[in-house]
Amino acid sequence: MNYYLSLVGNQVMAVLNPLLSLQGANYPIHQIILLPTKQSQANADIIKKFVGSSAKSLQVEIHPVSSSLLRDGELLPAPDKIREILQATEQDERLYFNIAGGMNFQLAACVPALDWGKTTFLYPEIQGIHEIHHDQDKIRKKLLALPSPVDVLALQQVPHVVHGGEIHRQLAYALRQAGIRLPQPTYNIEIGGLVFDCMWNDGNMLRFIKVLEQTANNEHDLALVRQVDALGSSRQKFGELFHRSIAVLAGSALVRERVETEGQGKIEVFAAQDSWALKKFCGVVRSEPEAAVRIDRRTETGNTSVSDSGNVVLYTTIGENLMSTLIAVWSHAASAVCLFYTPADPEIVKIKDAMLNNKRLLPTRHVCFYPVDIAGSKILEVAPASAEGSEAYRRIVNISPGTKGHTVFLTRWAQLHDAEIWSLKQPCIGSISPPGKERPAQAPDAKSFLLLKGENVQSSADDKSSLLTQAAELQKTWETLQRILPSGNDEELAKITEPTGLWFEKLVAFLLLRSGADDVDVRLRIPWDEEIKRQKGLHQDSFKTDCDVVARFGTNYYMIECKATKRENSNKVAWATSARAALFGRFTIPVVVFLRYAGEPVQEGGVYVIGYRSFLDPQVLKATLDKAWNDKRKTAQ
C-alpha cells in the first residue's frame, strides 16, 4: 500500500496539487493521511470532502495534531503522530510526503521521524511538482506536471468558459519585457461573467490576470473595475476550495488608481512596464543551479557584536522574506554565516549581491554563499564550512527563512552533520533540536535592512542619535502640544508649525523613542534610478519611496506617515502607507498619524489611523502600537 501524507496549513491547494499530480501520472496511491492542527481542521475537512467526491476509491484519514511541538491534551505533536503511523505500515510500503503543508518548524520536527529509505518527498512550485528521494547518499529527482488549471476548475465544479484565442497584446508585451514564461497558461477564460486574459497554476494557487484599458466611457471603466473587485472578494464565484490571486495590468494611471481604491488591497495592480511587480506576482521560472560552489568572503572589519558569540557557524537561507533571514543572522550573531540562495531567481541574486557589497553591516566575521535549487535537495551536497580549529566550532541551522523545501533538506543536513536546529518564534528564536533553548530575537535597523536588500538608500534626515541631541527642543514642542491641542487653539498651534512638516515627523520619531523604540529614521528615502527618472520626466527631487518615519521595536517594524492636519482623505493616505510598509515585509505595521485628530485609533484597510490623544502620551502610544502588532499577527495566522 502507498500512502500520501501531508501536514495541513492555510493553503488547501498546497496539499491538493501534489496529490492531483500523482494521480495524473498514474501513481498508485491507496490512502491519504492528513495532519491538521485545530486551526487548519476545516481545511482538512474540505480536502477530505473533495477527494471523496472525485476519487471515491481513496481512503482519507484525518489525524489532528498539536499546533506546537508539545502534547496538547490528546493531540500529539506532528512528529510523534508520524512515528505512530509509520509503526503501523509494512516495510515495503511507500510514503509520499508533501513538503508544502504545515509550518516550517513542524516540517523540521517531522524530518527525523520519517523513514528516509521509504519516503519520497513532493514539493510544488511554478515549474511543477518536484519528486525527490534521498537514500544512502543518493538523490533521485523527477519533475511531475502540475494539474491543468482548467482541470482544477472542473474538479471543483466552478462554472467557466474557455474562449481560447491569442494572448492580449499588452500582456504579451509585459511578459516578454520581464522575461517570464508561464507554465500551462490558459487564455481568455470566463468566470462569473468576466473574461480573464490569462490563468495558470503556480503550484500553491491559481493565478489570474485581467488587462484593463481606459476607454472614453468612465462609467464603463468603473463598472469593470468593480466587477473585478467583486470577483476578487467572492469565494463562491471561484469555488470554496482553493486559494487564488488576481492581478490587473493597466496602462492608464487613472485605471490603476481606481483598482487600488476599489480593490482595497485584494487585487494587485501594475503597469506593463513594471517588470519587477509582474515578476513578483507571476514568480520567476527557475532552473537547476550550477554545482554548489563555496564563495568565501571575509568582512572588511571585525564587529564587536560578535565578540561574545564563540565559535558558532550559522547555516540558513536567503528567502523572499529577507527580514526572516536577517533576524536569524542578527539573533545568532555567529562567527561565520553560510547562506544558501537560489541563483535562478534574480531577486534573490540581487539580495545576495547586496549582502556581499554591504558585508560590513553584518554582525559576523565571515560570510559564505552556496547556490542551491528551489526544492532544496542540493543542500545535502554541501560540505560543512572548514575553519581553523573547526573541531571547536558549533554548527547551527535556522530553518525559518527560505522555501519549505529548504527547511526539510536543511534539517536533514543538520542531522547528517551534527548541527543544532533553530527557528524563529517571535519575539524569540528557539531550538527544535535539542529542544527547549530560547534567546531574544534581534533585527537590523531600517537603513541597514534596505541596503542589504539592494535598495539605493539616501541618508535619513534624522536618526536616533541626532534626535537625542535635539531632545530639549523636541521636549518643549511636545509639552506645548499637550497644552494647546485639546483646547483647539489654532493661533498658538500656527506659531510652532513649519510648512515642510519635518518638525512633526521629528516629534513623532522622538515620542517613539520615548515609547521604547530601539531605532527610528526620519525621511528615509529611496531615489529613482536616474534612467527611469529621465524616461518619466520626473523632478530631480522626486523619490521612488519616501518614508516619513520608520521605527523598530525589537524585531517589529512600523511604517509611519505623519500628517500635520486634521483627519481628511485618510483612505488614500492609508493605502499609500501600506504599500511603503511592504518594503520591510508582510508583518510591518503601517500607521498614519494625524496631528489634529482627536478621536480613538481606527483601522482603515489594515492601516492604523491615530491622533494626538494616542501619540502625545508615550505609554498610550506604545499600547496602541502593541495592539496593532497583535491584531496583525492574528490576521496573518
Tens digits of residue pLDDT in 428-450: 999 999 988 999 999 999 999 99
So what's the pLDDT on residue 399? 96
What is the C-alpha to C-alpha distance for residues 415 and 250, in angstroms, rounded to an integer? 50
Per-position DSSP letters for 205-222, written without gaps between them = SEEEEEEE---S-HHHHH
Length of the chain in residues, anyone? Answer: 637
Residue type, 248: V
3-state secondary structure of 319: coil
pLDDT value of position 148: 86
- List, for the chain, all residue ranges whose pLDDT scores fall below the cut of 50: 240-241, 285-308, 387-390, 637
- The pTM is what? 0.83
Instruction: Give residue 290's pLDDT.
Output: 41
Strand partners, 186: 199
How far apart CA 183 and CA 488 sit, in angstroms, is 60
**Given this model, what pLDDT does residue 545 score?**
83
pLDDT digits (tens, 9 = 90+) for 224-265: 777 787 776 655 556 544 568 889 998 877 777 777 766 556
Based on its alpha-carbon atoms, the radius of gyration of the chain, rounded to whole angstroms, reads: 26
**Residue 316: which of 406, 419, 444 has the closest Cα?**
406
Q: What integer pLDDT is reported at residue 424 of this predicted model? A: 93
Residue 82 φ/ψ, nearest 5 degrees: -65, -40
Determine phi and psi for 460, rounding to 5 degrees. -75, 160
C-alpha 418/C-alpha 431 separation (Å) is: 14
The C-alpha cell that represents 209 in the structure block: 490576470
CA distance linking residue 201 with residue 182, whole number of Å: 9
Q: How many helices (H) and strands (E) does the chain have?
A: 22, 28
H or E segment at 94? strand 94-98
Q: For the sheet with 428-433, list strands across it.
A: 295-298, 366-371, 336-341, 312-317, 394-398, 420-425, 428-433, 438-440
Cα–Cα distance, 403 to 269 (Å, whole number): 25
Residue 32 DSSP SS3: strand
CA angle, 15 as apex, 148 and 91 as ends, to 5°?
A: 115
Which cell is 128 given? 511543477
Which amino acid, 440? P
Amino acid type, 566: K
Can you give the pLDDT at residue 391? 52
Q: Name 603's Cβ contacts closer than 8 Å, sequence gap at least 6.
A: 609, 631
SS3 314: strand
Q: At what angle do helices 218-232 and 253-263 cross, to 10 degrees?
A: 40
What pLDDT was estimated at residue 293? 37
Residue 482: C-alpha distances to residues 479, 499, 634 (Å): 5, 21, 33
Q: Are 62 and 34 in contact (CB under 8 A)?
A: yes
**273, amino acid identity:** Q
Three-class DSSP category at 292: coil
